[in-house]
Structure 1
Amino acid sequence: MKVISELKETNSFVRKLRADGKKVGFVPTMGALHQGHISLIEASKNENDYTICSIYVNPTQFNNKEDFETYPNLFAQDKAKLEEAGCDVIFTPSHESMYPNGVDNLLSFDFGSLTSVLEGKYRPGHFSGVGIVVSKLLNIVMPDVAYFGQKDLQQFMVIRKLVSDLSIMTEVKSCPTLREPDGLAMSSRNLRLNEEERNIAPLLYRVLKEAKTALIEGNDVGNVQKKAFDSIAANALFTPEYIEVVDFNSFSLIKNGKINNSVAICLSAHLGKARLIDNVIVEV
């Protein structure tokens, strides 16, 4: 397994692969890898000749400086996991190479109504930072296919729009959220939970499943949403931020009535030092 940190070296390596007729899959990450990330690597390996994984903690998508500075650096462990999974290349650029002129006065992306709700509402500027770094990574790596997890559903929708609007020649795929045996969505942020917090964290998925069942049974969206929010807020350790039902295609909020097309139930809640997000898809 190769480890490359230079942008031009990575680009040249991929260009040679493409010239040799090889299909390249790409999994962008910020490290602190878990089995959810590895499932993306496995999906890429099943569909491509070469798989590249980037490990880069992108400063432009953090609203909280402390959150950025305390993001876990577990490169030795990450490398071992990727090697065991059969990843071919790790791309580990530096901040200096990704942002040679610093991160002030960068261009910004406006994804319109897609980012006016949920994460976009509570993390202003976050998706512009995501758009910048994903654009850079896709331009450097030039993959045939890039893989993302469903847990960050809104992020995937943003990236799909980015790739479409800018005519980037990469197919983007969303892969199912992997969960712990108790239902908690796998996330690097779970490392921030203490034992007590970890034990109650699966409440989020239970609430989502109950809400999904209620919507399928024809209950009013507003009532389902309120009950779900109140169920989380009833636990003193949780501070729920939002729970919303969105149209799966447009990502517009649905506030009342029965659902008549596919939707996603998305939530965010603070638990101790961790801010957790999750979602489920309801197909009708």
Structure 2
Amino acid sequence: MPVITTKKELDQRLSSLPKSRSLGLVPTMGALHEGHAALVKKAISENRCVVVSIFVNPTQFDNKEDLEHYPDTLEKDIFLLEGISGDILIFAPTANEIYDHRILSKTYDFEGLDKVMEGAFRNNHFNGVGTIVETLLLLVKPDRAYFGEKDFQQLQIIRKLVDKNDIPVAIIGCPIVREASGLAMSSRNERLSETLRQDASFIYETLRTAKAKFGMKSAKYVRDWAEKQFENHPDLQLEYFEITDLDTLTPIQTKKTDVKYRAFVAVFCGAVRLIDNIALN
């Protein structure tokens, strides 16, 4: 399976596609797993052509060590994609190729979506995400782009980016894919020991119980309850547990009957930071 590494070659390959084609894009940072495979399969089912980008974007990492430890598994990623379809276009550029030797992020106004949760704990993270996603959308010009709901805050921010910049693409959110234990699939899971991997299943267990309690208790009660649960797990250090309005991502104090809500969590499992979320109603 050929791997495209330059913007020029990508443009040439896309220009050679039939004009009547529909085109799907699945942006990834590599270290692919079954969660990514689900995105790719959905893209293939809805489009005649699919581009999968594999690019570890340096501008969205606020922690240099996290960037240095991010897994580089390009050969395995290609093998996984070949098992899905031989017709996928893989775009795997270098940072200098993407950023024209000036590795800097743009600054965006996401109308507050980026100020809570991940944005509050990861400086400039969403400016980096916005920069690479906008770049890929303008390079590939897909009809549809696919993102997992594990990064739900990111998904909402990308929708805002597309809307504010009038980019003609449908942003498709896809359900979280989980391991048998309930742990949300993530490239970072590979850095967990077997013991920590089992411990991490407590994250989803807590989210599920929080969802059940949310139907009967106040948002403050559920938030306080969830925070207390992690105090009994020394290998799991809670960074935040938040309940927000689904659309605005505004943390709530009082529930309203006509608003959809979601719970979000970030936890350090040993040295590995994991995130997850769940719809509450």
Q: Is the 8 A contact 1:14 1:142 kept in 2?
A: no
**Equivalent in the alignment of 1:81:** 80
The offset of 1:258, in angstroms, is 6.4
What is the Cα deviation at residue 281 of structure 1? 0.8
State the alpha-carbon separation in 1 of the partners of residues 258 and 218 from structure 2.
11
Deviation of 1:44 (Å): 0.4
Q: Which residue of 1 aligns with 2:207?
A: 208
RMSD: 1.3
Q: Secondary structure at the match of 2:130?
A: helix
Q: Which residue matches 1:226?
A: 224
Q: Any conservation in 1 of the 2:30–2:77 contact (CA below 8 Å)?
A: yes
Give 1:169 deviation, angstroms.
Answer: 1.1
Identity within the alignment, % = 39
1:269 paired residue number: 267
- Whether the 8 Å CA contact 1:220–1:258 is kept in 2: the answer is no
Answer whether contact 1:11 1:141 (CA < 8 A) is retained.
yes
Cα separation, 2, equivalents of 1:258 and 1:172? 27
Equivalent residue number for residue 63 of structure 1: 62
Equivalent-residue separation in structure 2 for 1:113 and 1:41 (angstroms): 30
Aligned to 1:99: 99
SS in structure 2 of the partner of residue 213 of structure 1: helix
Q: Which residue of 2 aligns with 1:170?
A: 169
**Contact conserved, 1:221 with 1:257, CA < 8 A, in 2?**
yes
Q: Is the 8 A contact 2:95 2:101 kept in 1?
A: no
| 1:243 pairs with one of 241, 244, 263 | 241
Look up the match of 1:282: 280
Distance, in Å, in 2 between the alignment partners of 1:272 and 1:170 is 39
Unpaired stretches in structure 2, ≥5 consecutive residues: none
Equivalent residue number for residue 179 of structure 2: 180
> Post-superposition shift, 1:3?
1.4
- C-alpha displacement of 1:27: 0.4
> CA contact under 8 A between 1:243 and 1:266: conserved in structure 2?
yes
In structure 2, C-alpha distance between the alignment counterparts of 1:162 and 1:11, rounded to whole Å: 23
List gaps (5 residues or longer) in structure 1: none
- Alpha-carbon distance in 2 for matches of 1:43, 1:85: 11
Partner Cα separation in structure 1 for residue 101 and residue 199 of structure 2? 44
Cα deviation for residue 259 of structure 1 reads: 5.8
Task: Render the CA deviation track for 1:68-113: whole Å, top value 9, x for unaligned.
Answer: 1111001111000001011511000111111123224x43123131
Tell me, in whole angstroms, the C-alpha distance in 1 between the residues paired with 2:135 and 2:255: 42
- Name the amino acid aligned to 1:109: Y
Question: In structure 2, what is the Cα distance between the partners aligned to 1:85 and 1:40?
Answer: 11
1:51 maps to 2:47: no
Q: Could you say if the C-alpha distance between residues 234 and 256 of structure 1 is closer, same or farther in structure 2, counting changes exceeding 3 Å?
A: farther
Amino acid at match of 2:28: T
Matched, 1:122 2:88: no
Deviation at 1:13, TM superposition (A): 1.8
The structure 2 residue matched to 1:255, chosen from 253, 256, 263, is 253
| TM-score normalised by structure 1 residue count | 0.95
The CA deviation at 1:128 is: 0.3
Whichever residue aligns with residue 177 of structure 1, its letter is: I
Q: 1:214 to 1:259 in 2, by over 3 A?
A: farther
Aligned residues: 280
Separation in structure 2 between the aligned mates of residue 220 and residue 248 of structure 1, nearest angstrom: 17
Aligned-residue offset at 1:235:
0.3
Whether the 8 Å contact between 1:24 and 1:48 is mirrored in structure 2 is yes
Distance 1:140 1:229 in 2: 43
1:90 aligned counterpart, secondary structure: strand
TM-score, scaled relative to structure 2: 0.96
**SS of residue matched to 1:253:** coil
Q: Within 1, Cα distance between the matches of 2:191 and 2:140?
A: 31
> Residue 22 of structure 1 aligns to a residue in which SS?
coil
User: In structure 1, how many angstroms separate the alpha carbons of the residues matched to 2:244 and 2:58?
Assistant: 28
CA contact (8 A) 2:95 2:103 kept: no
Deviation at 1:274, TM superposition (A): 0.7
> 2:16 and 2:163 mapped to 1: Cα distance?
26
Cα shift readout 1:2-27 (whole Å, capped 9, x = no counterpart): 3111102212322332x531111110
State the partner residue of 2:189: 190
